Amino acid sequence: MSSAADNAKHVPVMLRRTLEMLAPALRAPGAVVVDATLGLGGHSEALLREFPEVRLVATDRDPVALRLAGERLAPFGDRATLVHAVYDEIPEVLERLGIEQIHGALFDLGVSSMQLDEADRGFAYAQDAPLDMRMDQTVGMSAAEVLNTYTHGELARILKVYGEERFAGKIASAILREREKEPFSTSARLVELVRNSIPAATRRTGGNPAKRTFQALRIEVNGELSVLERAIPGALAALAVGGRMAVLSYHSLEDRLVKGFFAEAAATNAPPGLPVVPEEYQPRFKLLTRGAELPTEEEIAENRRATPARLRGAERIRERVGS
């Protein structure tokens, strides 16, 4: 089991660049920043240290993460408010706390280091473990239940869409055959099934062949993409003028969603052909990155989990229409 001391050893992804991106919005006294994905508290701790006047509101759906991060952030007292919530609930969390607007928001998507490192969570395909994959183990359906109850069509769909798996249909057929013999319960059996379902030539490239299947199951179990579709607009709406949002994503599906929401927020919605764009049609946000920023080679060498990271940022430059 992780401890607060262990957590302090974890290196937050693209930490310095993230702080730089949010800094212009967080230097004013009374600024409020939301860490939507608290995890082990590494980004939150850095925000509290870097900006001594800032108030932090941090959410996480994982009760274990909240406890461990709470120990880590205890020295900051009431500057840090930690809430058990999924990040699409941020507007409701802010309303309960009486906070009308925020000045910064950080989303570090995907699985936390703690969840990957705790074998009994079932996120990592490199070690045998119960097939759980729930970020909050107190609610919802586990990965094993998905494997043992979904139809062939449902399994093939999530593997193809969420895992971008070329052999989704073949893997789904193998899952149905194997679960008739014995229900799935641990990860090693699934890893072996996926490996045997994929042609040998394909297995020789691209790392562990089970990674796409595990990604797909994790996204399905936690509703990650549907949550993200609600969370980004909700957090953007909460930003004050001059407020900034930074989002770290780790696979193309997440990044594509973030890119789309940011592009829409930064675009004019004026009818075509107007010689002058009226104020109400001006973009409400500007983009802070050209495309997605990538981790440096040095950072990847220090923290291999940073390898797939993509960072995007946006800043509110106008009040919402009707404000």
Is the pLDDT at 4 greater than 70? The verdict is no
Last residue of a domain, one of 222, 250, 284: 222
CATH number of the domain encompassing residue 278: 3.40.50.150
Which of 243-257, 276-290, 294-308 reaches the highest mean pLDDT? Answer: 243-257
- Write down which residue in 190, 222, 254 finishes a domain: 222
128 and 262 in a single domain? The answer is no
**The pLDDT value given to residue 7:** 46
**pLDDT surpassing 60 at residue 118:** no
Paired tokens of 269: 């919605």
Asked if residue 104 and residue 250 are part of one domain, the reply reads yes
34: CB partners within 8 A, 6+ apart: 56, 57, 58, 59, 90, 94, 102, 104, 105, 106, 235, 238
- For residue 323, being part of any structural domain is answered with no
pLDDT at 303: 87
Q: How many CB atoms lie within 10 A of CB 275?
A: 4
For residue 135 the two structure tokens come to 């970020």
**Residue of higher predicted confidence among 245 and 127:** 245
Confidence of residue 323 (pLDDT cuts 50, 70, 90): very low
- Edge-to-edge order in the sheet of strand 80-84: 80-84, 55-60, 32-35, 102-108, 239-249, 310-316, 285-287
- Please give the biggest Cα pair distance in the chain: 69
Q: In the listed set 222, 253, 275, which residue is the last one of a domain according to the structure?
A: 222
In the numeric block, the tokens 């925000």 are attached to 47
Give residue 2's pLDDT: 46
Q: How far apart are the first and last CA of the chain?
A: 48
CB of 258 within 8 A of CB of 233? no
Tell which wins on pLDDT, 288 or 270.
Answer: 288
**Alpha carbon separation from 149 to 62, 170, 179, 318 (Å, rounded):** 25, 17, 9, 48
Residues annotated as binding site? 41-43, 60, 87, 108, 115
Under 8 Å between Cβ of 56 and 80: yes
Q: Which residues are annotated as a binding site for S-adenosyl-L-methionine?
A: 41-43, 60, 87, 108, 115
Q: Give the count of domains, the chain.
A: 2
